[in-house]
Structure 1
Amino acid sequence: MRGTAVLLAVLLTAGCSGAPPDGTDGDLTDGWRPPPSPAPFRPAVGRCHETLAATASLADYRPVDCAELHVSETYHVGTAADAAVVPAAGSAGARAAFRECSDRAADFLGGSWRTARVAVQVVWPTRAAWSGGARWFRCDVTTADLDGRSRTSRTGSLAGELGRDSPLELGCFNPTVEGETVTTMRPVACDRPHRAEFAGLWRAPEITYAALESGTERSAAACRSVIARFAGLPDDSEMQYRTGWISYNPTRTEWLSGERRVRCFVYFAQRTFTRSLKGAGPAVLPVV
């Protein structure tokens, strides 16, 4: 019994004070990476969506491959300034986000989105996600009518679309006019008979949206100057006798976001052309 007890004591001592097994250092934690800190959901760039929304939550985040049918495409995700609540429409934070989205859209598309049948939208986190620490805003692009309201589905990414000949670029149109209201603008190739053509943009002053909508004289003068530069005409009082004009203002939402560029079109009620009027000059567009 004594010999057995001595042997047991030796074995216990060896088990408690002996060297660690070969290939180990005896420290069970020093080789482990600490778990990452929890972070709020942040959407991905380069994904497309079946709808165009003003807010997005993780529960509703179901992006699709851009080769599939979709309505909008995320081309940039920015970081908003910290604030207690999601920036409201027209606030400094909302305008800053739209300005960043607009600038990044030109890089993504390869040209100015305001010169194409394209619209830009800022998508914000939900209020619950914002309260949980989300501070992102998503920049989405979509095809749209000139009034910025009708969105259409498409397949394929819009990356670089305006850096090459694109059917989305504003060109020639056949408008439908009821009284003094343009109800439709149907795109048509400029070598086909048409009565209107995109001439360029003018930047409206910092006025109310109601003043912009009612300021016909301001729009007429600004668009005539744009048309004069586009068509190679003298920018004088006789411009009103050479061509008509159509203008498309930013939407109310775009205006609140800080967008001030107004689209201008050469327009003729009766006369048609089968060529572009860019640089046409007084011989083609005389005083009548």
Structure 2
Amino acid sequence: MRGTAVLLAVLLAAGCSGAPPSGTDGDLIDDWALPSSPAPFRPVAGQCHEALTAIAPLADYRPVECAELHVSETYHVGTAADADVVPAAGSAGAKAAFRECSERAADYLGGSWRTARVAVQVVWPTKAGWSGGARWFRCDVTTADLDGQSRTSRTGSLAGELAGASPLKLGCFSPTVDGETVTTMRPVACDQPHRAEFAGLWRAPEITYAALESGTERSAAGCRTVIAEFAKLPDDSDMQYRTGWISYNPTRTEWLSGERRVRCFVYFAKRTFARSLKDAGTSVLPVD
């Protein structure tokens, strides 16, 4: 018993000697990293989504691999100017975000998105997210029809899609026209019979959207100038006797965001071609 008591006293003395274990400094708290400051959620580029929306609630943020079936793709996330509320459609903040998204889209796609069956969408945080400090906007791209309305699912990323040949690039079309309204524009190869072809973009002036939609004379003059340059024709009063035209305006949302580029097409009601009319000249398109 006496030996046991002596051994216990030795062990207690060793435990209370104050010397830290080898490899430590004896301070139990100085090596703990401080927790980072809380920050609002911010999405990242390079992710795809099953839907295209203008507002992105965190609860609905469920990106998918771009190799899977999806509707939209985030190619850029920008930082919005500080403001009390999410920028409203048509505001300076909303226009600045759309302009940045449009410019970044050209770099990402490898060409102008307005020259393809593609649409750009600015996606904002919710009001609650904005109130919590979120100041981001997402730039999403999706395939769309000519009037920018119908979104279609696809697999694979759109990165570099317009840098080379692409079925999304606007080319030749077989239109269906009811009176003065184009009801369908079916893409066809330019070496197949067709009556319409994309000629380029006309930049509309700063007018109201209602004025753009109703001002056919303004659109006709603008598109005839575009067609004249495309087909190497004199841009004069005889243009109206050489070709017809079809125009597709930006959507109302795009117009409010500052998009002013109108898509212009060469069009013939009866005559068909099995070639592109680029640089065709007056011999192919005489005054009729």
**Aligned residue number for residue 171 of structure 1:** 171
- Distance, in Å, in 1 between the alignment partners of 2:181 and 2:121 is 26
Instruction: Report the AA paired with residue 21 of structure 1.
Output: P
Measure how far apart 1:16 and its partner are.
Answer: 5.1
Q: In the TM superposition, what whole-angstrom CA distance separates every residue of 1:86-143 from its partner, at most 9, and x where no partner exists?
A: 1100001110000000000000000000000000000111111111111111100000
Q: CA deviation digits over 1:25-71, x for unaligned, max 9?
A: 11222222211111111112111111101111111011111111111
What corresponds to 2:89 in structure 1? 89
**What amino acid does structure 1 have at the position aligned with 2:252?**
R
Summarize deviations over 1:121-175 as a string: whole Å, max 9, x none. 0011111111111111110000000010000111110000000100000000011
After TM superposition, give the deviation of residue 177 of structure 1 in Å.
0.7
Give the corresponding residue for 1:36. Answer: 36
Partner of 1:222: 222
Distance 2:6 2:65 in 1: 73
Q: Which residue of 1 aligns with 2:69?
A: 69
- 1:37-52 alignment runs, 5 A limit: 37-52=37-52
Alignment of 1:128 onto 2:128: yes
Equivalent residue runs for 1:244-255 within 5 Å: 244-255=244-255
Is the partner of 1:95 in helix, strand or coil?
helix
1:271 maps onto 2:271 in alignment: yes
In 2, distance between residues paired with 1:66 and 1:109?
Answer: 15
The alpha carbon displacement at 1:200 in A equals 0.3
Q: Which residue of structure 1 lines up, in the alignment, with residue 239 of structure 2?
A: 239
Q: Matches of 1:40 and 1:129 in 2, distance apart?
A: 7
CA distance in 1, matches of 2:98, 2:149: 17
**Code of the aligned partner of 2:286:** P
User: What residue in structure 2 maps to residue 153 of structure 1?
Assistant: 153
Please state how far the C-alpha of 1:18 moved relative to its aligned partner: 2.4
- Mapped partners of 2:196, 2:7: distance in 1: 106
Q: Distance in 2 between matches of 1:15 and 1:67?
A: 61
Residue of structure 2 in register with 1:201 after alignment: 201
Match of 1:115 in 2: 115
2: distance between equivalents of 1:154 and 1:220? 35
- Partner of 1:246, secondary structure, is strand
Distance in 1 (CA, whole Å) between partners of 2:7 and 2:48 is: 73
Deviates more, 1:54-63 or 1:161-170: 54-63
Say which SS state the counterpart of residue 170 (structure 1) adopts: coil
Distance 1:51 1:22 in 2: 58
Structure 1 unmatched runs, 5+: none
**Could you tell me how far apart the structure 2 residues matched to 1:275 and 1:8 are?**
102
What's the CA shift for 1:247?
Answer: 0.4
- Of the structure 1 ranges 128-137 and 115-124, higher mean CA displacement relative to structure 2 is found in 128-137
**Deviates most, 11-20 or 226-235:** 11-20
Aligned residue type for 2:18: G
Compute the TM-score of the two structures, normalised by the length of structure 1: 0.95
Cα distance between partner residues in 2 of 1:232 and 1:253: 34
Tell me, in whole angstroms, the C-alpha distance in 2 between the residues paired with 1:26 and 1:226.
79
Q: Number of matched residues?
A: 285
The alpha carbon displacement at 1:235 in A equals 0.6
3-state SS, counterpart of residue 163 of structure 1: coil
Structure 2 counterpart SS, 1:99: helix
Letter in 2 for 1:60: D
Aligned to 2:98: 98
Which residue identity is paired with 1:238?
D
Amino acid of the structure 1 residue aligned with 2:74 = T
What residue is the counterpart of 1:210 in the other structure? Answer: 210
State how far apart, in whole Å, the 1-side matches of 2:153 and 2:18 are.
72
Aligned to 1:182: 182
| Higher mean C-alpha deviation, range 189-198 or range 13-22 | 13-22
Q: How far apart are 1:21 and its partner, in Å?
A: 1.8
Identity value in percent? 86
Measured on the aligned residues, the alpha-carbon RMSD in Å equals: 1.8
